[in-house]
Amino acid sequence: MNIMGDKIIFVLPLIFCLIHNGSGLSRIDPLVDSKVGLIRGLRATDGDYSMFMGIPYATVNESNPFGPSTPHPGFEDVFEAYDDSAICPQIEEFHNTVVGSVDCLHLNIYAPNSANSRNRLPVLVWIYGGGFSIGFSGRFLYGPQFFVEKEVILVTLNYRLGPYGFMCLDIPDVPGNQGLKDQQLALKWIKDNIEAFGGDSNQITIMGESAGGASVDFHLLYSQEKLFDKVILQSGAALSPWAIAEPDTSAPLKLSEHLGFVTKDIQEALDFLATVDTNLIIASIPELGLEFRPCKENNFENVEKFIHDYPLNIKKPSIANVPILTGYNTYESLYIYDKLSEEEFENLNVFHDFLVKYFNLDDENLIEMEQYVRNFYIGDEKISKAEEDGIIKFHSDLFFTYPVVRTIQKYLDNGVKNIYFYLFSYEGERNFVKNKQNITTAGASHADELGYLFDISYMGEPNPEDQLIIDRITTLWSNFVKYGNPTPETSELLPVQWPIVTKDLLNYLNIDSELQVEKRNFNTRIVFWELFYKLNEKAQIGYKEDSE
């Protein structure tokens, strides 16, 4: 059998377990000697790989659960890595129930059994999306089978969400971006320990979707250490308008009062909230209309900052040698508007509301800009169900489409050579959000690609058409992880060469029933937003003239 890592140890009682029902051999569960101690995993039953689940990489201070976490001290005894059920406090999306614990900073490692010290495999690290308020790393959604089959080690990780991950205050104990700093500690843990699992610590790709994609981009822009060498951003970027926000520094006072303790002192409120059940705090968030996002951090002595300035002001990131794979889906915001009734549409004021939220426009300019945007997407019509298509396109472009194209342009301007751009167009039975919400309208919605990247537990066996997409997209992604190029050579499975983007050609791969290389998708809509942002450059939240 293959050895997992430099040093693997089998304890005597495991040897006695070789006999199963009197004859034959049972599996031997792997035991890895890592820098943090002995970790025992499970031999998978659905493929030739091993699972090490629920490994704690950091701990949260119980007296300040809203503050930065610290590295986990490691294990004196063998850690049994059998459980991937940890979830950080949130209202989970499947049953709308309040769940979770701050003892959630765990990661899962899925390693092909061919991985060992003489055959180190590249590593793919997954950071989930969910608007910085929901998400978890377990196999219920993110089953590893499709990637481990491609001889890639997959790592999935939890990070804190909502008030525990993204409360941003003007005090050193809760400076902001705790969830991103959790991710960073996980990346350090992986860099330090993955070789014990047969991984190559010099070949680590970080990948995320939506808020996970924005998180990956934040690490690319702000990380001071070389913890990864390639990135995959799916439907999210640091320049997405929702990815960073002005913090509500009164949030602890509002939460505290709502839960029965009235004070005007932030520290008193935090001390009280630290004693309150996490479920009560999480349940209060929608009741109070609170939102927690990454933020630009203030300066505090002896406190390390993660985001020191708004992404739009970072002019020269030192990332020229990092290959980037990025893109989005054809009809991103379909999932938001598809199920709304006529009455709900008539109560929308999307153009005004989003421009107010994401731009600093005076009243006169706001009226003018709102008219421009409205006319472009729905002409002279009133907002109604009949204009759903235009409203979905507006929301998709503002939130996902244009920010990704803008990010590509920014990185090209900063000397990045290898950028691969995709459009996910395929509609099948495994389109994640459409499947979950029973949407039949045409188009690939936000997060729909996830069903083809991960073995989602409740989806069952893929049909032949969906299996082809799974094989193609996971091979493209795995090739990028291995070689920095998704199509190092063409084949029957991948019959086209995916070209890089250049300053002159916005090449992209259209991932549909067939793979096709095309140029500059949604061109008219992209040009509209290029002009809009040029016209309103100084109105962007966080804009400053003397940026770095």
Residue 545: the pLDDT is 78
Q: HSE (CB half, 13 Å, CA atoms) of 499?
A: 13
The 10s digit of each residue's pLDDT in 242-275 is 999 999 999 999 999 999 999 999 999 999 999 9
On average, the pLDDT of the chain sits at: 94
pLDDT at residue 522 is higher than 80: yes
Question: If you write DSSP's letter for every residue of 12-80 in order, what string do you get?
Answer: HHHHHTTB-TTSSB-----EEEETTEEEE-EE-SSSSEEEEEEEE-EE--TT-TTS--EE----SS-EE
Mean pLDDT over residues 55-75, rounded?
98
Name the token pair of 200.
Answer: 């190559």
Mean pLDDT over residues 284-295, rounded?
98
Closest CA to 147 of 199, 82, 74, 69: 199
Phi-psi region of 182 (alpha: psi -120 to 50; beta: other; left: phi over 0): alpha
φ, ψ dihedrals at 473, nearest 5°? -70, -40
The 10s digit of each residue's pLDDT in 318-332 is 787 899 999 999 999
Angle subtended at Cα 235 by Cα 229 and Cα 240, rounded to the nearest 5 degrees: 95
Report the Cα 278 to chain-centroid distance in Å: 23
Residue 318: the pLDDT is 73
Kindly list the domain boundaries of the chain, sorted by start residue. 1-248+291-314
Burial-class residue 115 by CB neighbours within 10 Å (0-12, 13-18, 19+). Answer: buried
- DSSP H helices, 379-463, are 388-396, 402-413, 432-437, 450-453
Q: HSE (CB half, 13 Å, CA atoms) of 107?
A: 29
Phi-psi region of 359 (alpha: psi -120 to 50; beta: other; left: phi over 0): beta
Say what the pTM is. 0.94
As a whole number of angstroms, the distance between CA 370 and CA 420 comes to 33
CA distances (Å), 170 to each of 2, 175, 176, 264, 269, in order?
52, 6, 9, 14, 14
pLDDT at residue 11 is higher than 70: no
Strands (E), 229-283: 230-234
Name the token pair of 80.
Answer: 């049994």
149-152 long-range contacts, CB within 8 A, separation 24+: 149/47, 149/474, 150/474, 150/475, 150/478, 151/112, 151/114, 151/121, 151/478, 152/112, 152/121, 152/122, 152/123, 152/124, 152/478, 152/481, 152/482
Map 344-365 to HEC letters.
HHHCCCHHHHHHHHHECCCHHH
Please identify which of the residues 133, 210, 215, 240 carries the catalytic annotation: 210
Name the token pair of 335.
Answer: 């999932």
Query: Could you count the other beta carbons within 10 Å of the beta carbon of residue 301?
Result: 5
Residue 320: the pLDDT is 75
Secondary structure (3-state) at 414: coil
Topology at the third CATH level for domain 1-248+291-314:
Rossmann fold (3.40.50)
Secondary structure (3-state) at 419: strand
From 147-156, 219-228, 252-261, 438-447, the region with the lowest mean pLDDT: 219-228
Secondary structure (3-state) at 386: helix
* Amino acid type, 456: I
The residues facing 80 across adjacent strands are 40
For tokens 């709308």, the residue is 96
Mean pLDDT over residues 465-482, rounded?
98
Mean pLDDT over residues 486-495, rounded?
98
Report, in angstroms and rounded to the nearest whole number, the Rg of the chain calculated over CA atoms: 24
Catalytic, 26? Answer no
Residue 10: the pLDDT is 33
Query: Could you count the other beta carbons within 10 Å of the beta carbon of residue 178?
Result: 28
- The confidence band for 1, taking pLDDT boundaries of 50, 70 and 90, is very low
The 10s digit of each residue's pLDDT in 418-458 is 999 999 999 999 999 999 999 999 999 999 999 999 999 99
Mean pLDDT over residues 64-89, rounded?
98
Q: 484 Cβ partners below 8 Å, 6+ apart?
A: 230, 323, 418
